[in-house]
Amino acid sequence: MAFDLETCARYNILALEPYRCARDDYKDDGTNILLDANENAYGPSLSLSSLSISTSPNDLSIDLLGLNRYPDPHQAVLKQLLCDLRNIHVHTSKNITPENLFVGVGSDEAIDALLRCFCVPGHDKILTCPPTYGMYAVSAQVNDVGLVKVPLLPAPEFGIDVEAVTSALSGSESNTIKLVYICSPGNPTGSLIQKSDVQKILEHPTWNGVVVLDEAYIDFAHENSSLAEWVTEWPNLVVLQTLSKAFGLAGIRLGAAFTSEPIARLLNNMKAPYNIPNPTSEIACQALQGGISVMRSNVEKIVGQRERLLSELPKLKGIGRFRGGSASNFLLVELVDATGNPDNVTALHVYEKLAETKGVVVRFRGKEHGCLGCLRITVGTEKEVTRLLEQIEVVLQEVHGTTRPTSAAIEEMKEITANAVL
């Protein structure tokens, strides 16, 4: 047989480092507290008392009787509800309309679609600002698109280095950089990017490209932070959002890209037919109609627990500084060694012990730029935060007490840390 996978498959796919999460290592057995993936632990933003299986398309409930038909390819109702949510008239007096929208299977579909729309494989590049969401780089590699990295300014601010970004967009590679991906609030930083910094990049006098602002966590920031409606003012701005976080609907995989009408047309022309399943659309529409108050109530609870963590974690021996901001439903927390210095070995040890012996799963982020010794901790319910605080204190006492890991264990953890996949 002549088949040889190594020479048949694309080289960039063979070399691909897949996106990984803590649950690749720690499966949920139903008893774990999952504070690793920035989900909304309070549940979906639905009015569950009125949620039912509908026999009538006129009911405000989930219609499952039409599953023999392909879903609406245009999703005009869903798009209008998303527009209603984001037409806040703070950043412009103009209205976004369904013609400004692309909806996809999570924000990841839009991230990938933008690459396929604007970047020529093997030639063009995207610019990212690490530390940032890992799927930008994964999607770039899948599409054989180059990566230019301009790190964020040092912690704790983790703001955009506007001078370095604009310089890169003016340099020798500027003609091949087609997209700039900016995460705001950042993941894993939790920092909200200043509107004026985004504007400076949009105003670049010579660069011909698109600024992609990923607002997955925007509803955990201060009120009116979203720049979604700003796409009516800037022809090269795309704002990504999702129902996975504040709306607590990670399981339906629904994301949106707000952008200018011409870019929206291109993205909609490219998409697979009927890309949003009927149940996804039905659930999303109910959340955007009857679930807004539920969403805001749950966000308020999460913000309250976030403030609790900001207050209580620093009281524990072994907890260092908070890095980044607090504009999201997670915090980036520094773990320190016996000398008080941020340390990846200590952070990885705490991460592993929490998951393996305490049933609390967080996320090790120590290998990312500017995140030495850091764990990213999702803000859970009051009960989950209580358990986290109790169990991390026990683990920290073990690490900084008489049960420190042996020299052999430390060397093993150093090796694991060096090879850890982000």
pLDDT in tens, 158-184: 999 999 999 999 988 889 999 999 999
107 contact partners, CB below 8 Å, separation of at least 6 = 214, 216, 240, 241, 242, 244, 255, 256, 257
Cα–Cα distance, 303 to 379 (Å, whole number): 8
Strand (E) or helix (H) holding 108: helix 106-118
Cα–Cα distance, 60 to 173 (Å, whole number): 52
pTM for the structure as a whole: 0.85
pLDDT in tens, 85-136: 999 999 999 999 999 999 999 999 999 999 988 898 999 999 999 999 999 9
Cα–Cα distance, 184 to 239 (Å, whole number): 10
Which pair of structure tokens corresponds to residue 219?
Answer: 């509803």
What structural domains and CATH numbers belong to the chain? Answer: 8-37+294-419 (3.90.1150.10), 48-290 (3.40.640.10)
Cα Rg of the chain, angstroms: 22
Q: What is the pLDDT of residue 271?
A: 86
225 contact partners, CB below 8 Å, separation of at least 6 = 192, 215, 218, 327
Q: What is the pLDDT of residue 22?
A: 56
Mean pLDDT, consecutive 10-residue stretches, the chain (422 aa), reads 54 59 58 69 62 47 68 92 97 97 94 90 95 95 94 94 96 90 97 97 93 97 96 96 95 95 90 89 92 95 97 96 96 95 95 93 95 97 96 92 52 53 43
Closest CA to 365 of 44, 64, 134, 92: 134
Q: What is the pLDDT of residue 413?
A: 55
What's the sign of the alpha-carbon dihedral 127, 253, 22, 350?
positive
Q: What is the pLDDT of residue 416?
A: 52
Q: What is the pLDDT of residue 410?
A: 52
Phi, psi of 321, deg, nearest 5 = -90, 155
Closest CA to 15 of 100, 187, 138: 138
Cα–Cα distance, 332 to 365 (Å, whole number): 8
333 contact partners, CB below 8 Å, separation of at least 6 = 313, 319, 320, 322, 323, 374, 375, 376, 377
406 contact partners, CB below 8 Å, separation of at least 6 = none
